[in-house]
Amino acid sequence: MDELKQKHRALWALGDYPAVAADLIPSLGPVLVEACRIRPGQRVLDVAAGTGNVAIPAALTGADVVASDLTPSLLAAGEKLAAERGATLDWREADAEDLPFESDAFDVVVSCVGVMFAPHHRAAADELVRVARPGGTIGLISWTPEGFIGQLFATLKPFVPPPPPGVSPAPLWGSPSHVAELFGDRVTDLTAERRTVRVDAFATGASFREYFTTVYGPTIVALRGTDRPDELRRALDELGDRWLTGGAMEWEYLLSTATVC
């Protein structure tokens, strides 16, 4: 287990994920802040926070925010961004499947395309519920299996080793039935809404591939590890070209919110 977590930590430290968060999906954090109705004085935990796409705008509302992540380099980048934006919050290294926080400690627990990448979905869901107080809110944004990032992982799958037993595909968190099954009767008022974020950073599939094989850890790992690099590059070019319409892509995600029992 320690080896698996070390691999995950190293994967997200590769490339330049802070650039991905800032260049492509900066709007998702405020979406989640609004959906969870985060307000001054609330105690908020951002799980797998990365560089703070949710944590920083949440802190700017006046909430008391803790940003947690497995990868120290992402936390360091987030701390710098927070200082630049005048946001004050705590940054904590933490495993989403074993959070170092007391039970019932937070009014709101959020994660934006973060906790979905914890390898064991049940363990991660259990922790989200445990640290949220009864009556508190859980809010998640997750890439869907059918959307662009879900299809990116489907494209990478033939080029990477199979995951260890018990590890679930990350985009399952973008399936409403999967989220409902993970939380079960421990939450009420569970909502799941499919939305899209517009990404206009790429003119061609090749430019998408060049960017993602430079800055995005999972794509970098796949390209480095395969003995068919040219085939993978072609597959990524084709994926990007299929999804480009009028010089932009629409990336689908699932916005889920629930009240903890």
- The model's pLDDT over 120-177, given as tens digits with 9 standing for 90+, comes to 999 999 999 999 999 999 999 999 999 999 999 999 999 999 999 999 999 999 999 9
For every residue of 184-237, DSSP letters joined together read: GGGEEEEEEEEEEEEE---SSHHHHHHHHHHH-HHHHHHHHH-S-HHHHHHHHH
Tokens of 98: 């074993």
Q: Considering the chain, what is the average pLDDT of its residues? A: 97
Residue 31 and residue 198: Cα distance in Å, rounded? 13
**Whole-Å CA distances, 61 to 42, 57, 87, 217, 228:** 10, 7, 9, 31, 48
Give the span between the Cα atoms of 248 and 52, in whole angstroms: 25
pLDDT at residue number 48: 98
Which H/E stretch holds residue 91? strand 90-93
Q: What is the mean pLDDT of residues 7-25?
A: 96
Mean pLDDT in residue range 105-113: 98
Q: Using 50, 70 and 90 to split pLDDT, how confident is the model at 222?
A: very high
Give 2's pLDDT tier (boundaries 50, 70, 90): confident
Sign of CA dihedral 92, 93, 99, 101: negative
Average confidence (pLDDT) over 253-259: 98
Q: Report the CATH number of the 2-197+252-260 domain.
A: 3.40.50.150
Asked whether the CA dihedral 73, 124, 180, 259 is positive or negative, the reply is negative
In the predicted structure, residue 1 carries a pLDDT above the cut 80: no
* Percentage of the chain modeled with pLDDT above 70: 100
Predicted model pTM: 0.97
What ranges do the domains of the chain cover? 2-197+252-260
pLDDT at 200 over 70: yes
- Residue pair 218/156 in contact (Cβ under 8 Å)? The answer is yes
Beta pairing class for 106-112 and 64-69: unpaired
